[in-house]
Amino acid sequence: MKHKIKTVADAFKAVGLDPNKLPNVSGLPERHAQAVVDYYKAVVVAEALNEGWQPDWNNHDEWKYYPWFDVKASAKKLAGSGLSCCDYGYPGSYSFVGSRLCFKSAELARYAGTHPPFRKLYESMFLLK
């Protein structure tokens, strides 16, 4: 599916949603509004890349994956991020991400976390600017 989903618009098209119909965030503080819209876009990207797969939280043998970022700041960039790991399995019972952003494979999680158009969504969601 990676070869078909290269942009956010591709993801919207793949799941049959209109990319121009975004959540109304007019009631939110301006500093948070874009992050909420980008979360919605990231959910659509995950749905498209997963091709209908949804995690079964009752199946402890099913692996679930998500991008994991290592945030590093620099003099030029007060906040930044880098993909450091993309695996999540049952042996650890930690939960850092909702099921809407889980992926069916490590390869898809890595792609979503490193492909520039999608990586920008994660940066918007996770980092204050």
Question: What is the band of 71 on the pLDDT scale with cuts at 50, 70, 90?
Answer: confident
* 128 vs 19: CA distance, rounded Å: 24
What is the per-residue pLDDT for 29?
Answer: 94
pLDDT digits 0-9 by tens, 48-63: 999 999 999 899 899 9
What is the per-residue pLDDT for 93?
Answer: 46
- State the average pLDDT over residues 101-126: 94
What is the per-residue pLDDT for 100?
Answer: 80
The DSSP secondary-structure symbol of 92 reads: S
* 52 vs 111: CA distance, rounded Å: 17
> Where along the chain do its domains lie?
8-126
Q: In this structure, which amino acid lies at residue 51?
A: E
- State the average pLDDT over residues 111-127: 93
Report whether pLDDT(112) > 70: yes
Report the mean per-residue pLDDT for the chain: 84
